[in-house]
Amino acid sequence: MTTPAEYQQRRERLMAKIGGGTAIFRSAPMAVMHNDVEYSYRQDSDFFYLTGFNEPNAVAVLAPHQEEHKFVLFVQPKDPEKETWTGYRVGVDDAKTVYGAHEAYSIDELDEKLPQYLQKADRIYYRLGRDKKFNETVLNHWQKLMRVYPKHGTGPIAIQDAGTLLHPLRLVKSESELELMRKAAQISVEAHERAREFARPGQYEYQVQAELEYLFQQHGGTPAYPSIVASGKNACILHYIENDRRMEDGDLLLIDAGCSYGYYNADITRTFPINGKFSREQKTIYELVLTAQIAAIAQVKPGNPYKQFHETAVRVLVEGLMDLGLLQGDIEEIIKEEKYKPFYMHRTGHWLGLDVHDVGVYQWGEEPQLLQPGQVLTVEPGIYIAPDIKPVEGQPEVDARWRGIGVRIEDDVLVTPDGCEVLTAGVPKSVEAMER
């Protein structure tokens, strides 16, 4: 549980970086499913991180230079008639008493009230977002202030992406965030276990998806992203989400699914033989990916450059593919010129948190981003041998027996002071455990 005190602490940490500026955050818009039906509401992660406030049509302002109103919320006003149709609203009063705003207004008053929080700011911090109309609102207010700048000699002379200040904070998770991430991981672990026990030749992929997502929902979670349940050659399509194929005897099944719990996400992939026994080729590729994943996880420790675990995974995969005769030549050249890409075309991981592909910089120009305790990332190498795979020039044709095999293994890993902890270690991944 994230307490009001923690939200306040996050705002204070951000305000310490804002200095004489004013930061503006916009809630996520409602997303349309079709016609006038909308998806369940999902707050913008920056907005949620700073406020815990979970409604659309809201604006949060952080203005540390203000005497009293350093944190201001603009929210949808209470309206019993509208609430009957579209759901409960916190309202202006509780925005202060429950969410800790020093001042709160109806969102209808935004244009009138916002300028007073910008006039004395030396800079506006705002991340251009999905809400184009609101982007324009911010730019219009800025333009008006710039018009009177010569008269006063004060006002925001620049707009800077708020993410440049906020996202480094989001990158390192607090204890309460980790508690939610562990819970999301644990639910996802159980769901993967359930799905693997359930899956049999003759079923449809969506039936396995239903088993997984049943467990998410049973625990108060939702899918963190569209679940990928990819049998046979579908496993070679990275974001396969149709999940409508009948699974055949002899197929591998790749399941990439994770639960979102309290807005925090897990992201797990396992690949196993649906009939309980790997073929020789499937097993060979599986073992190679597993070896690469374990070697990559061993590189997740404080002080190591972010890219190191990816480079380790690539090297292990390339060595293995060379041993199998699927790649040939000079290993350094294969790696440097990325000749392995027909088999392995994505990065080995990403930050994980409130967003599945979480915010945070991976590399500072030539400077590496160094891992530090509290960061969470995925480690997810794979090999994908599409039926129509086209090796790069000079590389051998791929023998038919390998074609159609796709394997990925993905875990969520927390950087700890002395190494790392695999949050999703509860789903087994040894060859023996994948068979039955």
Signed CA dihedral, 296, 297, 303, 305: sign only: positive
Q: Which of 65, 219, 245, 346 is catalytic?
A: 346
The token pair at 321 is 């593919």
d(CA 203, CA 32): 32
* Among 135, 225, 237, 250, interactor with ligand GLY by CB under 6 A: 225
Do 282 and 405 touch, CB atoms closer than 8 A? yes
The reply to whether 69 belongs to the active site is no
d(CA 100, CA 346): 43
The reply to whether 89 belongs to the active site is no
Within residues 162-201, the interface with ligand GLY by CB under 6 A covers: none
* Among 177, 256, 355, 412, interactor with Mn ion by CB under 5 A: 256
d(CA 374, CA 377): 10
* Among 267, 355, 358, 412, interactor with ligand GLY by CB under 6 A: 267
For position 256 contacting ligand GLY by CB under 6 A, the verdict is: yes
C-beta of 226 vs 419, nearer to ligand GLY? 226
The reply to whether 102 belongs to the active site is no
The reply to whether 408 belongs to the active site is yes
- The owner of tokens 């952080």 is 62
Q: Which of 205, 251, 384, 411 is catalytic?
A: 384
C-beta of 211 vs 256, nearer to ligand GLY? 256
The reply to whether 384 belongs to the active site is yes
Q: Which of 81, 112, 239, 367 is catalytic?
A: 239
- Strand extents, DSSP E, 292-339: none
d(CA 100, CA 10): 12
Q: Which of 46, 177, 380, 412 is catalytic?
A: 380
Min dist CB 378 to Mn ion, Å, is: 4
d(CA 367, CA 133): 37
d(CA 364, CA 232): 39
C-beta of 226 vs 374, nearer to ligand GLY? 226
Q: Which of 46, 103, 410, 411 is catalytic?
A: 410
d(CA 226, CA 259): 10
C-beta of 237 vs 356, nearer to ligand GLY? 356
Min dist CB 214 to ligand GLY, Å, is: 19
For position 362 contacting ligand GLY by CB under 6 A, the verdict is: no
The reply to whether 397 belongs to the active site is no
C-beta of 76 vs 378, nearer to Mn ion? 378
Do 23 and 125 touch, CB atoms closer than 8 A? yes
Site string for ligand GLY, 327-356 (x = CB under 6 A): -----------------------x-----x
Residue type, 39: Y
Within residues 257-296, the interface with Mn ion by CB under 5 A covers: 267
Q: Which span sits near Mn ion by CB under 5 A: 305-313, 319-327, 372-380, 412-420?
A: 372-380
| Helices marked H in 98-174 | 110-113, 115-118, 132-147, 149-152, 163-171
Q: Which of 55, 211, 256, 358 is catalytic?
A: 256
Q: Which of 267, 355, 411, 412 is catalytic?
A: 267
Beta bridge partners of 59: 26, 74
* Among 380, 395, 411, 427, interactor with ligand GLY by CB under 6 A: 380
* Among 76, 265, 293, 378, interactor with Mn ion by CB under 5 A: 378
The reply to whether 287 belongs to the active site is no
Q: At what angle do helices 163-171 and 4-18 cross, to 10 degrees?
A: 140
The reply to whether 355 belongs to the active site is no
Beta bridge partners of 186: none
Task: Name the binder of 225 from ligand GLY, Mn ion, none, CB < 5-8 A by kind.
Answer: ligand GLY
Task: Name the binder of 422 from Mn ion, ligand GLY, none, CB < 5-8 A by kind.
Answer: none
Q: Tell me the DSSP string of 364-433.
A: ETTEEPBP-TT-EEEE--EEEE-TT--PPTTSPPPPGGGTTEEEE-BEEEEEETTEEEETTTTS--SHHH
d(CA 222, CA 225): 9
- Residues in touch with Mn ion (CB under 5 A): 256, 267, 378, 410
* Residues marked as catalytic: 36, 239, 256, 267, 346, 350, 357, 380, 384, 408, 410
- Residues in touch with ligand GLY (CB under 6 A): 225, 256, 267, 350, 356, 380, 410
